[in-house]
Amino acid sequence: MGAPDVQKVSVGPETAEDPLFDPQLLAGLDWSDVKHMKGGVTSSSPGPGLRVRPLCKADYDRGFLQLLAQLTKVGEISREKFEERFELMRGSSGHYYITVVEDEERGTVIASATLACELKFIRGCTKRGRLEDVVVSDQYRGRQLGKLIVTTINLLAHHVGCYKLGLDCRDE
């Protein structure tokens, strides 16, 4: 049995979906040093019908908050509150990079992870990255999407100048 057929898909929104950060940051990631993933999966080729891209405002309607609820308590968040927080994050000059995997056929967000960057004085005023809120929909587990999103965030952290990346997770 050979490797699964992997369809080339674009990185980032194909329309003006109001992304949290520039989708070209994901397109510019260098996967050449990454250990081979089953099926040749990368952020630019995550699998048939899937797309890796920045969080967009429209993801409020694509199940982003419901996905996060599989990870932790989310609470009641109105569209207005979501959009206010989105704009605060986007306006923070490169401190938040929420990256999602979308099932384009269903129009739903099925995986997500956050790169939060802290500004430091050490190492020549560089940044430290924190990997947070990693979640894959329970309906899509076992497809290497967790590995894909974590590797994408790791590459993105180095691409935006983080000298290291730490994982923040719960103790359970």
Q: Give the domain range for residue 122.
A: 40-167
Q: Quick one: pLDDT at residue 8?
A: 31
Strands (E), the chain: 50-54, 96-103, 108-119, 127-136, 162-167
Q: Quick one: pLDDT at residue 42?
A: 77
* Domain assignment present for 60: yes
* Domain assignment present for 83: yes
Quote the number of domains for the chain: 1
- The letter for the amino acid at 71 is L
* Domain assignment present for 19: no
Neighbours of 148 (CB within 10 A): 24
* Domain assignment present for 29: no
pLDDT band at 170 (very low <50, low <70, confident <90, very high): low
What is the mean predicted confidence (pLDDT) over 37-48? Answer: 79
Mean pLDDT of the chain: 88
pLDDT single digits (tens) 111-161: 999 999 999 999 999 999 999 999 999 999 988 999 999 999 999 999 999
**99 to 3, 4, 59, 150, 171: CA distances (angstroms):** 26, 24, 11, 10, 23
What is the mean predicted confidence (pLDDT) over 54-69? Answer: 98
Q: In the numeric block, which tokens belong to residue 30?
A: 């260098």
Name the pTM for this structure: 0.86
CATH code: domain of residue 64: 3.40.630.30
Q: Quick one: pLDDT at residue 45?
A: 83
Q: In the numeric block, which tokens belong to residue 58?
A: 């429209």
* Domain assignment present for 131: yes
Cβ-contact 77, 61 below 8 angstroms: no
Look up residue 36 and give its DSSP letter. P
